[in-house]
Amino acid sequence: GQQGYRDPLNNRDLDRGIGPDSTPYRFTLAPIYELPFGKGRKWLNQNRAVDLVLGGWEASAILTAQGGFPLTPGYQIDSCVCGNNRNTANVLRDPNLPDSERTVNRWFDTAAFAAPAQYTIGNAGRGLIWGPALRSMDMTVSKYFSITERIRLQFRAEAYNLSNSPYFANPNTTFGAGTFGRVTAVGNSPRAMQMAMKVMF
């Protein structure tokens, strides 16, 4: 890592752990559905007025579910006097909390860590803490209007983060910091909606 190895002799075997970009799962679904109404479709395909209102609609979405990333606890104090090596605390037990106990003010068990003795290296390894998961849904509804044989008009309504669900940023994992174990930001934007029209010829 950019801050060096935990062991002062750069023994990589003592610094093994889950990679920072490893997530236990990622699921993405992108369905597209044409409503079966209007000209050339199953129902109401003979009435021009109905086709103008109900025909030609299409709905699409992008749904994403992803697990959190593994986070590595740090320590504010260079207890081992290792120079610029990454400082770590001691871990006493599994710091991850059940989902039912996690809050933004206590994402993991902060009492599971302790300060190492002076001139010693903390035993907390890499990737011990699982960060927040991601759930998101974006949706688009669109319709084509035929003006002439060569000219078409497209209307689009788009919604991003449709459920307005927060994607929490990673908690502070530096032992000794005032916000240790707390989530203090979100990693996504609130729900946004927009509409647009486009002429194609």
Residue 126 lies in a domain: yes
pLDDT of residue 148: 83
Residue 174 lies in a domain: yes
Radius of gyration of the chain (CA): 26
pLDDT of residue 9: 56
- String of DSSP letters for 130-168: E---EEEEEEEEEEEEESSSS-EEEEEEEEESTT----B
Residue 87 lies in a domain: yes
pLDDT of residue 184: 96
pLDDT of residue 174: 93
Residue 3 lies in a domain: no
- Please, are residues 80 and 8 in contact by the beta-carbon 8 Å criterion? yes
HEC-encoded secondary structure of 41-92: CCECCCCHHHHHHHCCEEEEEEEEEECCCEECCEECCCCCCCCCCCCCCEEC
pLDDT of residue 1: 37
Range of the domain at 109: 12-200
Residue 123 lies in a domain: yes
Measure the CA–CA gap between 57 and 37, rounded to whole angstroms. Answer: 8
Residue 118 lies in a domain: yes
Each of the 201 residues of the chain gets a pLDDT tens digit; together they read 344 455 555 656 667 788 888 999 999 999 999 888 777 777 766 667 777 777 778 999 999 999 999 999 988 887 777 765 567 889 999 999 999 999 999 999 999 999 998 888 888 888 999 999 999 999 999 998 878 888 988 999 999 999 999 999 999 999 999 999 999 999 999 999 999 999 988
Residue 6 lies in a domain: no
CB neighbours of 52 closer than 8 A, spacing ≥ 6? Answer: 145
Total structural domains in the chain?
A: 1
Residue 1 lies in a domain: no
